[in-house]
Chain A
């Protein structure tokens, strides 16, 4: 029984930040200003979500966080798809289709997991400037696709290594080539690892902040950067109810994915850890 008590207490403590934001997102700004950020709503202020979504002012523009959510989606979805597909093909190539230099290049690619973002900030700045992609969503898609490969290639390669070689050998004897084997044999076996990879990439790109704040400004920013801009604005005039609603909206996509695909999310975490 003691075990249940301890575990429940810790779990409750872990839930406090979430509960506090959810409750605050349903309290009026005035109510929060009169009491504290921690409290039960006296009047349910569902309107906060509407205001946060489409009316609230972030850095001189009063369109709520909708445009920034859209930016995040327009960066996250393509970058997740591209990096996952390219990673699956490359992972298949280095695990089952040995070629000269494959282990070397695979080793270098996975080093990207460790290389701090700070080492790439200036080069990306120059590359984006020279290609005219500075302050564009395309630029962020490019960055996240290329950098995401380090993870997606690792995930897929480690998964494909376990596929029996006989399967590939037999297909080759039947005359199947690189793409045919990928399409007919590898891809049908891949859903579990593709789900892990997609969830991992989506979560990381959606939550990314440093590149978003460095390479985009104003209306082009992803929602994480917009939240920081919003905090700065709120410091002058407190709107904590609306701000809580904005924070909830920004967190919702990854939270929902976690709720639905938690098992795969955890698998990605541990796969990334045990390299």
Chain B
């Protein structure tokens, strides 16, 4: 940042006329930035404040301490949502990382049609989760989709009814989420693979390393920073997942696919418990911070290390 232009050298006091002349410039610089920053800060504080008030249908002032938080944490709804998030978050992130990495390695073999293939793996990202969730709900619906098709083909004992099975329903979300966002992991991994130092690879080749050894010992270790970045972004997506579940299962059957974002929406806009909904939103933010803060610290250390190197 040292190479940026400093503001005009100040020779004495600027005249009022000069200031007025620069007013349009100040306004265009500051108004959008301030609006954005102010809404982020004030909205966060506002929601946090509501979470400590006895607000139900309308916001009221007052102080109830942590009552909403204890109520949310004690509720069955939130507990199921949190357990689901742990299961969904961990399996989805892990599997989409693996899928993305495998696809990236395959595409990195200088194969024909790479562009077409890459477009195919990435197209789900261009489409709304409402659309993809709806389509997956058809495919996975036992009376409409894959199970029905197999039955019609004659194999009538075939069962694939995760969508309506309380124990398996969460896996439908995992499948749809992997399908939708593995391409993202692939794109980042592919960029990483392409930027591996050519000399490093050449040196390993001279040492007689085969392709498997090459990947395990030379190439994959350089992908660690990208892996962590992808992981954090996918976790962030998992924590705030709403549209996909709304379209695919709407949290059901029962509460089988309930997630924190759905609990927040339900408390705020369906049950009219603003204070409790705000508390659930703040809890979501805390879960997110539990992921983002270590990541930020890691990024900071990395940057310092590379600055010293």
Identify the A interface with B (CB < 8 A).
Answer: 3-4, 6-7, 10-11, 14-18, 20-21, 24, 32, 35-39, 86-87, 89-90, 93-99, 103, 105-106, 108-109, 111-112, 114-124, 126, 146-147, 149-150, 153, 161, 165, 168-169, 172, 177-179, 203, 206-210, 214, 224, 227-228, 231, 240, 247, 250-251, 254-255, 257-259, 262, 265-266, 269-270, 273-274
Contacts and interface: CB of A to CB of B under 8 A. Distances in A.
Contact of A153 (B36, B124, B125, B134): B36
B242 A254 contact: no
Contact of B187 (A35, A149, A266): A266
B148 A168 contact: no
A118 B145 contact: no
Interface in B25-72: 25, 28-29, 32-37, 39-44, 46-47, 50, 59
Contact of A37 (B4, B33, B145): B145
B157 interface: no
Given A93-B29, A168-B5, A228-B247, A14 B120 contact: yes
Contacts of A153: 32-33, 36
B179 interface: yes
Contacts of B95: none
B197 to A, nearest CB: 18
Interface stretch (B103-111, B166-174, B202-210): B103-111
Contacts of A231: 134, 137, 247
Interface in B133-160: 134-139, 141, 144-146, 148-149, 152
Given A10-B121, A168-B5, A258-B119, 8 more contacts: A4-B112, A18-B123, A20-B138, A36-B144, A119-B44, A123-B47, A178-B28, A270-B187
B129 interface: yes
Given A14-B121, A95-B4, A273 B135 contact: no
Nearest to B39: A146
14 contacts: A93-B29, A98-B4, A109-B40, A115-B40, A118-B265, A118-B280, A118-B285, A120-B39, A122-B268, A179-B24, A206-B128, A207-B130, A258-B119, A274-B188
